[in-house]
Amino acid sequence: MVLCMFEITRIEWGVPIVLSEQLFVFLASLAAYNFVKYSNLIRVKFNRKSKRFITIVLISFLSLLAAAYFLFFFSQSKLYVVLVATLLLLLYVVPLNSSSSNLRTVGGVKIHIVALCWTLITGVLPLIDEVDTIEISFWLTLIQRYLWIILALLPFEIADFSSDDKALSTLPQVLGKQKTKFLGYILAFLVVSIAFKGFEKVVWCYLVMMLLYVFFLGRSSEDQHPNTNAFWVEGIPFIGWLILYLPH
């Protein structure tokens, strides 16, 4: 999902392919995902001698090492982007004090930290050396990406409505599930509206993706099949990438 978002930005702006950046985004996302998802679970529930534990740690560690290697090919400005995203990730997971709280547990903050982190990696990173950062189109792209990621996270928040700690103050907990869905429809409209700054194929790319998000968001519920979000919703950026990548 993250790599496809990165590629959509690159194709949309005509940025040349840089294999080291593509590999970094994929491997770093894999390591970061495992770090966020399994850090608490591994400490509490996993048997450290289990094959699953060893596999997760090994894959994450190797991915992290490989991603760190590709950083040697990055410019200084791109390294700064990665550094900020990494710091946000650490603040999101690592306890800030003895109470074991982190930014992930601060009410209403979780979804925005994730959106900011992904915007840095999939929006700022591929463009920072390629475009004039004072251009309005650059900032519109970042706003669009931020709203897109918020939208992409809403089905997950609705599915986790009951299991999430009430102190998290997720959007469904604050607004209710129906109002959260309505907010998602508005976000989808805004994302498509901003897409009109690009060429025709970009508009079609975002239009198809946003229609899919609206469809799955409308069907989101707490008792849905877990693969609905884990596979279908997370796969929507792959469809968008295909639309831009495939020839006319």
pLDDT in tens, 151-206: 999 998 898 877 666 767 788 888 888 999 999 999 999 999 999 987 888 999 99
Rounded-to-integer distance, Cα 76 and Cα 78, Å: 5
Residue 194 inside a domain? The answer is yes
The pLDDT value given to residue 107 = 62
pLDDT in tens, 89-145: 888 777 665 555 566 666 668 889 999 999 999 999 999 999 998 999 999 999 999
Residue 141 inside a domain? The answer is yes
Rounded-to-integer distance, Cα 222 and Cα 25, Å: 31
Residue 64 inside a domain? The answer is no
Number of separate domains in the chain: 1
Contacts of residue 128, defined as CB under 8 A and 6 or more positions apart, other chains included, come to: 75, 77, 78, 81
Q: Indicate the pLDDT class of residue 214, thresholds 50, 70 and 90.
A: very high
Residue 18 inside a domain? The answer is no
E strand residue ranges, the chain: none
Range of the domain at 215: 132-248
Residue 125 inside a domain? The answer is no
Residue 37 inside a domain? The answer is no
Residue 9 inside a domain? The answer is no
pLDDT in tens, 47-69: 555 777 788 889 999 999 999 99
